[in-house]
């Protein structure tokens, strides 16, 4: 467990959460807010969709929160009871402690959530670290997983050292450096000025995870014999997308794999691509 402060100051934390609340006032679907108490502390969840619809759990990437699903939630809520979950240790409204990715903490945390919500089984969509957590949970609780969608997943292909080096250089360039990092991770995908400013706010006030993200073994990936879609950007600045594709194709030939030309690591507005896969029998 990492007990370092995830926020650089209390004022910075307040500014991030204030902006989060402002984004929620513009949430494009009816929603409710939940807090559930897990063995790893409180977890904040945004829910949208009819209670009689099948459950869909959304897990955001590192250094983010559930507001990142703003452009997707309305479409998903037409077909699913959606639970957008804030991951502990990230700049959202859940427990602030970061737990080791090498431990059982995050799979146990997600299992607690399903138990508390009385969900026997769910479909999962995760991006980046959130996708890693989806895989991690599915390996330990396969019977509770209906389908999975992995967007720019960590844990399959290696991270790019070049991005880490660029990030160090850009960090000395102030606001211009942050702009360069945002362009690196989003590629050619358009992103609103409001979201750019929120990313900058988080970057200025949040201490990102420094623990290396574990790579899953060949045996673990081969064991993911559940309906699975992976979407990666050809110009992912953070991960070797071509290696992710080659490895998943070799170890899980039934996977639905999508490569998006000219796109980067952070991928938005994919419902038209994802929903046909999720809704297929």
Instruction: Give alpha helix (H) positions in 59-215.
Output: 73-79, 105-116, 129-140, 161-170, 174-186, 193-205
pLDDT digits (tens, 9 = 90+) for 54-100: 999 999 999 999 999 999 999 999 999 999 999 999 999 999 999 99
Q: Take residue 43 and report the two structure tokens written for it.
A: 């977890």
The predicted pLDDT at position 7 comes to 95
Q: Tell the residue number behind the tokens 């009816």, with chain if given.
A: 30
pLDDT digits (tens, 9 = 90+) for 170-189: 455 566 666 666 766 777 67
The predicted pLDDT at position 169 comes to 46
The predicted pLDDT at position 160 comes to 66
The pTM (predicted TM-score) of the whole model is 0.93
Domains, the chain, in order of start with CATH, read 10-279 (3.40.50.1820)
Q: How far apart are CA 229 and CA 208, in angstroms?
A: 28
Q: Please, are residues 189 and 267 in contact by the beta-carbon 8 Å criterion?
A: yes
The predicted pLDDT at position 164 comes to 59
HSE, side-chain direction, 13 A CA sphere, residue 262: 3
- The DSSP bridge pattern shows strands 32-38 and 41-48 to be antiparallel
The beta strands (E) that lie in the chain are given as 32-38, 41-48, 55-59, 81-85, 122-127, 145-151, 228-233, 256-260
Spans in the chain with pLDDT lower than 70: 1-4, 160-181, 183-184, 188
């Amino acid at each position: 467990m990492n007990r370092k402060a995830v926020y650089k100051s209390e004022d910075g934390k307040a500014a991030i959460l204030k902006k989060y609340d402002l984004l929620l006032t513009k949430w494009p679907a009816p929603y409710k807010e939940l807090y559930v108490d897990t063995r790893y502390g409180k977890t904040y969840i945004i829910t949208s969709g009819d209670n009689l619809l099948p459950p869909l759990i959304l897990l955001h990437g590192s250094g983010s929160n559930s507001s990142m699903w703003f452009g997707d939630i309305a479409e998903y809520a037409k077909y699913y009871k959606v639970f957008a979950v804030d991951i502990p240790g990230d700049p959202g409204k859940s427990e602030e402690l970061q737990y080791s990715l090498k431990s059982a903490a995050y799979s146990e945390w997600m299992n607690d959530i399903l138990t508390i919500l009385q969900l026997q089984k769910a479909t999962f969509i995760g991006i980046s670290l959130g996708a890693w957590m989806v895989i991690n949970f599915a390996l330990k609780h396969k019977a509770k997983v209906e389908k999975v969608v992995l967007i720019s997943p960590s844990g399959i292909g290696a991270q790019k050292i070049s991005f880490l080096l660029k990030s160090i250089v850009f960090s000395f360039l102030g606001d211009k450096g942050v702009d360069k990092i945002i362009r690196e991770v989003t590629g050619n995908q358009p992103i609103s000025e409001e979201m750019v400013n929120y990313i900058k706010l988080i970057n200025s006030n949040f201490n990102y995870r420094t623990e290396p993200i574990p790579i899953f073994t060949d045996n673990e990936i081969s064991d993911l014999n559940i309906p699975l879609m992976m979407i990666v950007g050809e110009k992912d600045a953070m991960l070797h997308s071509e290696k992710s594709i080659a490895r998943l194709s070799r170890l899980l030939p039934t996977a639905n794999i999508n490569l998006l030309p000219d796109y980067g690591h952070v991928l938005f507005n994919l419902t038209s691509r994802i929903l046909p896969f999720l809704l297929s029998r």
